[in-house]
A and B are shown apart, each in its own frame.
Chain A
Amino acid sequence: MAVATAAVAVRARADASDAAVLQFEAIYAAYAPLLRKIAVRKFGIPRGDAEALVHDVFATYLANPSNVRNLRPYLIGAICNAARQHLRRDATEKELFCNGPVCAATPEEELVDSVIRSITIRSTLAQLGPSCQETLRRFYLTGESAPTIAESRKTTANYILRLLNYCRNRARAIYVAMSQGGARDASPQ
């Protein structure tokens, strides 16, 4: 009986853990790009430092998520405070909070559009086959050259470049269709 109870408890903990990861990944995917862009574009924080600030904002949130009632304004307010604190270290900023009628971090339309674009491209990439995804990721994100990718795949650089062009064209077609609301027609069968 006790063993069964313990097993149920272990299962419950594992379930809680899985659910927390899924929930966090959804939140991170939805807000991390926006927070990064706010730090970089609104406060002029270098990209590397902005990444660290975004990490800290999420780490603080995760330490006590029940303290937060309204996630979006909390995260935007927090990245604003974090950016100001970062700038304060350079003695250019004095206030602890972003006081004032309109928070400096409030994202305007252009910034929101750019975040929506990133999220749409992410959805687009998810619709590509694994080979295309992997090739594009290695070339664009990781920065590997076509010959390096070709070598690991035992093929020619020219083939990889043609594959990249094909995959990017495919992605663009899906992206354009999604942006125009016709995602279903463009998605692979």
Chain B
Amino acid sequence: MPHLSENLIGRYALDPRLVHDIEAVEAHLRDCDVCRRSLEEIRQFDSDLAGGDAWGRTDHGLARFAAERAEEDAEAQELLAEFDDAPATTFVWADLPSNSDYYTGGVVRALSKRAHEMADRDPRYALELADAAISISRRLSEDDYPATALHEWRGEAWKEKAAALFCLGRFAETLQAVDCAEAEYNKLSHAGVGHVAVLYIRASVLYEQEDYEAAARLLDRSAAAALHLGEIDRYMAALHMLGSIHYDRRQFNTAATFFATILRFGEKNNSIVWIARERLTLGNCFIELGDLTVARQYLEAALLQFTTLRFDTEIVRTQKAIGRLLFSETKHVSAIQMLRRSVADFTRLQMPTDAAIAAVQLAEMLHATGRDRDIPHLLNGVVQAFTQAGKLTGALTALAYLKEAAVSGKLTNTLTSHVGRYLVRVDRQPALLFAPPPV
């Protein structure tokens, strides 16, 4: 039986009236599998043609928005160029929210981005930038921008405010800002990166307040949500904090499992920063676990990588860890020399809190080796660095208390640990008062 031509089947699929002998064609199609399959394929093709996807329709409204956004970004860059290298005061005096020239989505995005970059370095400036972004974003209208974009930008600005407040240790206000960010993000049609960030900031506050269980719950959610959106860096950041929680709880094996997971991720993605960072944390874990050979391998590799990256602060942090390692290896003289060098380097890098924490660890070593008389001089130097940096917080009281304990021969490891932990916390919460450990 000869098959029907594809042309004939095509005409029949289009409109049966286009073929001369419909009955003969239909009879043939009933009996012939090959021709029937051809008809099915043609009908499937027709169905594909009727679907919009085959025609590559572009959403013109979105394309226009993409164009306008790019143009606004370029314009905002020009408008804000004068503040690029200017001090924070210049920005504050300019009072952008009072000038309608700056009322654009591009300016809001640029200010939020700049706030994000400044949060760690200069949180006060970051706060000013975020406040300006919030203020301007409120003035933008749905007549000019899609509602989705406005909620996203307002959420972002509030989120950056929360991050700046967090770095300033103003935790109650951080949570208020996070609430505002979340309220904006909740107006979007779906949960996104903003929600992940909000969970992470809340967890960070809880972590600093040592509410580890609540922090861990939020971090689990943040990590899962980040992974779901393919935001691997945010996922790793959440895992890192989970590892830090276990480390602080002295659950070093569990902490090492988290840090090793992140290290593997870093190795897989050739992310030298994650690799170096996790090698340092793993080195610290293995010092605590007493596996000094493994600790040394991690720390030496981390030092090499941070040196390649020229991450000065991380180099000094790694040197400090190596100093602790040397002490555990009973190489006391080298350990003390290394810690002294770390204190000096942190001071040179204008990092008084890190210098003080290193000094406290050094004091512990000096005490353990019967050199208590060196401790007051050491702590005086750190107090001086704090005073010069204008950090007139409870840290000074804590250091003075430690010094007095050394002078009076009442220094204990419990006290040095207590002061060390307090120094970490007071750096984030300047208003935190020092209380001696319970006797």
Contact = CB atoms under 8 A, between A and B. Distances in A.
A152 interface: no
Given A24-B66, A56-B148, A97-B225, A169 B6 contact: yes
A77 B230 contact: yes
B109 interface: yes
A19 B225 CA distance: 31
B68 interface: yes
Interface stretch (B52-60, B163-171, B369-377): B52-60
B314 interface: no
B271 to A, nearest CB: 12
B190 A62 contact: no
A99 B228 CA distance: 7
A58 B59 contact: yes
B427 interface: no
Contact of A56 (B67, B70, B113, B189): B189
B59 A55 contact: yes
B7 A24 contact: no
Given A118-B48, A165-B7, A175-B45, A28 B59 contact: yes
A78 B194 CA distance: 12
B49 A168 contact: yes
Nearest to A73: B230
Contacts of B63: 21, 24-25, 28
B224 A97 contact: yes
Which of the listed residues A28, A37, A60, A121 has the most CB atoms from chain B within 10 Å of its own CB?
A60
Contacts of A74: 193, 229-231
Interface string B94-127: 0000000000000001000100000000000000
B192 to A, nearest CB: 6
Contacts of B146: 59, 63
A141 B59 contact: no
B66 A70 contact: no
A25 B18 contact: no
Given A63-B148, A122-B53, A58 B6 contact: no
A13 B75 contact: yes
Nearest to A120: B54
Contact of A165 (B14, B53, B149): B14
Contact of B67 (A21, A58, A136): A21
B153 to A, nearest CB: 6
A107 B315 CA distance: 44
B65 A62 contact: yes
B69 A62 contact: yes
Q: How large is the interface on B (under 10, 10 to 19, 20 to 34, 35 or more residues)?
A: 35 or more
B300 interface: no
A77 B49 contact: no
Given A125-B54, A175-B45, A69 B232 contact: yes
A36 to B, nearest CB: 7
Contacts of A78: 190, 192, 229
B213 interface: no
A141 B225 CA distance: 38
Contacts of B291: none
Contacts of A13: 70-71, 74-75
A15 to B, nearest CB: 9
A38 interface: no
Nearest to A20: B70
A180 interface: no
A142 to B, nearest CB: 10
A18 interface: yes
A20 B52 CA distance: 23
B78 interface: yes
B62 interface: yes
Nearest to B73: A16
B51 A16 contact: no
Interface in A86-104: 86, 96-99, 103
Contact of B62 (A14, A16, A62, A119): A62
Contacts of A33: 53
Nearest to B12: A165
A60 B190 contact: yes
B55 A16 contact: no
A58 B62 contact: yes
Nearest to A68: B193
30 contacts: A9-B74, A16-B70, A17-B70, A20-B66, A20-B69, A25-B58, A28-B62, A37-B53, A58-B62, A59-B62, A59-B149, A60-B189, A62-B66, A64-B193, A66-B113, A68-B231, A72-B230, A74-B230, A77-B228, A82-B190, A85-B189, A97-B221, A97-B225, A99-B224, A115-B53, A118-B53, A122-B55, A140-B46, A161-B14, A171-B49
Interface of B: 6-7, 10-11, 14-15, 18, 42, 45-46, 48-56, 58-59, 61-63, 65-71, 73-75, 78, 109, 113, 146, 148-149, 152-153, 156, 188-195, 221, 224-225, 228-233
Q: What 7 pairs across the A-B complex have the smallest Cβ distances?
A: A73-B230, A20-B70, A82-B190, A70-B230, A33-B53, A118-B53, A24-B66
Interface of A: 9, 12-14, 16-21, 23-25, 28-29, 32-33, 36-37, 53, 55-60, 62-64, 66-74, 76-82, 84-86, 96-99, 103, 115, 117-119, 121-122, 125, 136-137, 140-141, 143, 146, 161-162, 164-165, 168-169, 171-172, 175
Given A67-B156, A71-B230, A143-B50, 13 more contacts: A9-B78, A29-B58, A32-B59, A62-B66, A63-B146, A74-B193, A74-B229, A78-B192, A99-B221, A141-B50, A168-B10, A168-B45, A168-B46
